[in-house]
Every structure is written in structure tokens, then in C-alpha cells.
Chains A and B, each alone.
Chain A
Amino acid sequence: MKIGVLLKQVPDTETKIRVAGDGIEEGDVKWIINPYDEFAVEAAIRLKEKLGDGEVLIFSLGKSRTLDAARTALAMGGDRAVILDDDAFEGSDAYGTAKALAAAISKEECGIVFTGGQAIDLDQNSVPQSVAAFLEWPHASWIQGFEHNGDTATVKRPVGGGAVEVVEVTLPAVFTCTKGLNEPRYASLPGIMKAKRKPVTNYSADDLGVGDDVGADNARVSLSDFKLPPGRPAGRILEGEIGDQVKELVRLLREEAKVL
């Protein structure tokens, strides 16, 4: 079985974001694997290890630098990278991105796909659900437990208020992964050496037949007017006897901030 992973390259969480026109300045950005996608890579490798067979494919749509992120996933134990790098993809929204990824997953005939819960650059939390809709597969989000039983998988997912749902999902399906599912392994040195020689497949928009869905011209959603968040007005550090500070705090919350 081919086991797919959707992997996005994003700016490191420590990156200082500088706004430049309708985008961010990319000059000194350090690029990393989207942290949630590491859980997806780990889940895919573990499934292959359990089955004792299969091929782990790392799908990534992005500029040429995205191959660096995919190589890291290959060093962890992925088998092949499937890179969607084409000028036609530039400016795609979640819809177009999902169309292209779904087409690539179909072309490769994957039997299961793991993704991150959300990409921490645009925090959209949209691509996996849309991919599943286009493939007409079920999907289960934010899984924290995964067990493969042949034709189905049993997953656990938190549903708010501390409750956890146990769901039996028929394969093929899309699973979005989060913290708590597993501990992603580090790429070993031999792993990194081997990753350099692992195969990479490239698909263009034409290869996938998605020319009318991708790119800025076909985007249904666009961002504009980037700005930095307004600074919070200088806060007030209370002073005096600790007991008096607490009384003053409660008074301020009621009378000044009006949140009590």
C-alpha cells in the first residue's frame, strides 16, 4: 500500500514576521517542516513498519525550497518525495492546493493519507478536509490515537470539554494528526545520507489536470492589507501589599475592564 503524507514547509515559529506589501519578507526566514506534519510523517512510517510493507510518499506543494523539508521527512524514513512545484501553483488558495494534492494522491493511488492538523503559517485548517472531499474519502481530524485493522482504522479524537470520540473509519481515508499521537523520531545521520539518494517525482499543474483550479487567478480566497497586530496599551503592574493588590485587581476587572 502507498501511504501518503501531506507536508508543508513553513517559517520557523521563532521567525520575526516582517510585513512587506501583501505578504511577508522572506529574506531571513528560516524554513522548517510544519510541526504538525512531523506527527503525520511518524504515523506513516509506523504504519509501514507495522505492515512490514508499503511505500511512504511525501507530498508537498510549494516553491523549490520545499524539497528541503521533504528531504528531512525522507531522512526520518519516508521513501519518495512527490513535489508539486510549478509557477502555475503560485498564489493558490486552500481550494486550489487541495485540488492539486488530491489529484496527485489519486495519480499515485494511495490507500491512506496522513496530514498535519493545520499549517502554522496561515492557520487555515482547510486543506485536508478539502482533499478528502475531492477524493470522496472519509476524514478524521486531530487524531490522538491510531490503530490499523486492515480495511478500517480506529482513531481517537478529542471533541471538546475533555471528551474523546472513538471512531472506526473505512479506508482509504485522510487523517489529520496532532500532538499526543506519537513522538516524531529524529532523522539519523545515516538516514540523512540515504535521503539524498531517495527518488523525487515532480508533477506540474498540467500533469495533474488542475490548471483551471490553481494559481492566484483561480483562487476563491485571497489575503490583502497585511499588517502587524496593534500593540497592547502598556499594562499596569500593581503595587503594594499582596492582599491589597488582589483586591485592587478584582476592582479593576469589575469597574475598569468590566469583565466580571
Chain B
Amino acid sequence: MTDILVFCEVSDGKVKGSARELLGKAKELADGGDVTALLLGSDLGDAAEGLGALGADSVIKVEHSALEHYVPGAWAAAFSQAVEDNNPDVVLGAATALGKDLLPRAAALLEVGVAVDVVDLFEGDDGIAGTRTIYSGKALATVNVSSEPKFFSVRPNSFVVDGVEAGDGDVEDFEPDLDDDSGYVVTDVETSGGATIELTEANRIIAGGRSLKSAENFGIFTEAAGLLGAAVGASRAAVDAGYAGHSMQVGQTGKVVNPQLYIACGISGAIQHLAGMRTSKVIVSINKDPEAPIFQHSTYGIVGDLFEVVPLLTEELKAVLAD
């Protein structure tokens, strides 16, 4: 039996999709132990409702005005205090931009270890252990954590969960003791146009490379991405050429993604690009060079001109997904 605390990120008043995955997996690993969901924010509204159905036996709500924006010092303090109070064996969070930043700082405060960005979790010789990719995905290793509790951040979309046993989902509040001044003030949030899906959490991605030839041409993906509910990614060559924003870069010096479906269009498949997407469940590539290395890593490949194939694909998706 293992007591597991699951940090669930809240966005726009709702827990993020990763909560389902993490709570479901936690329920399985707990093997009769308690599964507790932990929520942090300044106004959580009714985000804590319904977590029982996802497997949470209880829910800890930590609401404080200092937690309105992600402020690393304040969040790590609140997080570590709630963990200490709950005293679990294992703490899980999603390896999102926020989770990857928060867990190591909170773990340091508790003087415990954190295994980051694991793609699997299992019962090992010494409690729960994980699997992670290292050297940009060129090797895998088992990661063991000897401290109590053990912290893990989990790469989004690592687990498929269905049919989880519900918990009570009883909600309780926890009052953190926070400094008023953390020396970190968010003064503005600049958004660039419409809301886009965050690559690292996306379940489907369609990505383009240098071959797109211009920023305007990236628009060729818009309709297909909309139909698929996909995020749009890019190779570094496309980013360096100014065709796509830095935040869209997939790869070793960009983002590491883990979708169910990755469609690479006009991307050669350099090792540094593969480093960011090789764990995708299904990889489709569209490239006019039959010798392009990306084909060796693809589930399905089409040898052809992306400017011809992508519009055809968009039409076919429209027809098929309409049914």
C-alpha cells in the first residue's frame, strides 16, 4: 500500500487533462493506499469538484492570494507545506513547464529527491520507481528515489487510463504560511492572438520544417490542426529562419513532446529533432525525399510534396471526421 499525493494543475477554473492520467495511474499504484489530489491557486472555484470520479479519495485545496500567478518561491513553499502535512509516500505531478519547475524547488525545501519527466512508473524493489529517457532520448534508465516522500514528475500522455475506481473526493482546505514578498512579481502576461494548445501537453501535433519556406505557409496546417485538435510544431531550421516562433520548436533545444500522433511535414529527421518527439506513439511523415532519415522512425510515411499532401489530408480529415 502506497499513499500518493497528486498535484493537479488548474487552468481557467478547471483541472487540466493531466489530472485524469495522474490520478488514474496513482489509484493503480496505490494498491489500496490513499490517493489525494492537491490543488494550488488564488481562487480555485469549483475545480475540486468531481475529482473523486477520477480516483481521488480526498482533495486538498490550497488557496492564497500569493498564488494567483505561478511564483516559484511561494508555490514551492505552499506545495512543500501541504506535502509535509499530508505525509504521503509518493508525490506525482505532470512534467509541464510549471510542474518541471515547481517540483525540484519544493523537493529541495523538503530535502527529498525528485525523478523528473518519467515516462513510466512501477513498483520496484524499494517502492515506486520510474523510467526516464536520458541523453535526449538516446538511452533509457530506471530512476530510483530513496527519500521519503519520493517525488516524480510525469511526462504528459505517458499513461492511458480507463475505468478507474472512484474515490470519495472529500475536499479539505489547507492554509499555507507564506511570505508577502517573494521578490517575484508578474507584471504582465502577453498573449499572441488566439489561444493555442501547449505543445508539451498536446495529444496530437502537426509540425513543419524549413521546407515550409515562409511564416505564411505555416498557415497550411491551421485547418488540419483545428480538425485534429492538434498543436502546431516546427523544426529548429524553421524557427531559425523565422517561419515559426521559438515556443513552437520541437527537439533537443526546443520542447520534448509525447503525443499520440505526430505528423512531420518536410522535416528531415535530424537526431536533435528526434530527441524531442521520438516517444510519440504514432509518427507520420510526409517528405519528398524517400531517403529522409525521418522515415526510419515513422509508423507511416508518404513520399510526396507537402504542399500537395497537406491540403488533401485536410479534405480527407474533414470528410472522415464529419461522420
Contacts and interface: CB of A to CB of B under 8 A. Distances in A.
Interface of A: 11, 13-17, 19, 22, 24, 35-36, 93-95, 98, 120-127, 129-130, 132-134, 137-142, 144, 154, 156, 158-170, 173, 178-180, 219-229, 232, 235-238, 242-243, 245-247, 249-250, 252-254, 257, 259-260
A129 B271 CA distance: 28
A229 B120 CA distance: 13
Contacts of A178: 246, 253
Nearest 7 pairs between A and B by C-beta? A220-B113, A170-B183, A133-B108, A126-B104, A130-B108, A160-B198, A221-B113
B272 to A, nearest CB: 6
Nearest to B262: A259
B73 A162 contact: no
A253 B113 contact: no
A17 B101 contact: no
A159 B134 CA distance: 24
Contacts of B190: 156, 163-166
Given A122-B135, A221-B115, 11 more contacts: A19-B139, A120-B253, A126-B107, A158-B246, A167-B185, A169-B185, A179-B254, A227-B139, A259-B204, A260-B261, A260-B317
Contacts of B256: 123
Contacts of B97: 141-142, 158-160
Interface in B105-139: 105, 107-109, 111-117, 132-139
A236 B137 CA distance: 23
B247 interface: yes
A237 B108 CA distance: 48
A243 B278 CA distance: 27
Contact of B316 (A162, A169, A250): A250
13 contacts: A123-B133, A139-B72, A160-B247, A165-B69, A179-B246, A179-B253, A221-B143, A235-B296, A236-B299, A237-B290, A242-B309, A245-B304, A257-B282
A220 B112 contact: yes
Contacts of A221: 113-115, 143-146
- Give the residue among B181, B192, B272, B312 with the most A Cβ atoms within 10 A: B312
Contact of A159 (B145, B147, B189): B189
Interface in B214-235: 228
A246 B105 contact: no
A204 B166 CA distance: 53
A contact patch SS: mixed
B86 interface: no
A170 B184 CA distance: 6
A11 B135 contact: yes
Contacts of A154: 187
B231 to A, nearest CB: 9
A150 to B, nearest CB: 14
A89 to B, nearest CB: 17
Contacts, number: 270
A13 B272 contact: yes
Nearest to A236: B300
Nearest to A170: B183
Nearest to A171: B183
B contact patch SS: mixed
A159 B200 contact: no
B322 interface: no
Contact of A163 (B183, B189, B204): B189
A171 to B, nearest CB: 8
B243 interface: no
Contacts of A141: 72, 97, 101
Nearest to A117: B253
B140 A243 contact: no
B154 to A, nearest CB: 14
A130 B195 contact: no
B96 interface: yes
Contacts of B101: 125, 129, 141
B211 interface: no
Given A13-B252, A160-B200, A246-B302, A121 B316 contact: no
A249 B320 CA distance: 12
B276 to A, nearest CB: 11
A246 B136 contact: no
A226 B116 contact: no
Contacts of B192: 162-164
A24 B139 contact: yes
A192 to B, nearest CB: 25
A125 B116 contact: yes
A173 B69 contact: no
Nearest to B314: A246
Contact of B284 (A120, A219, A253): A253
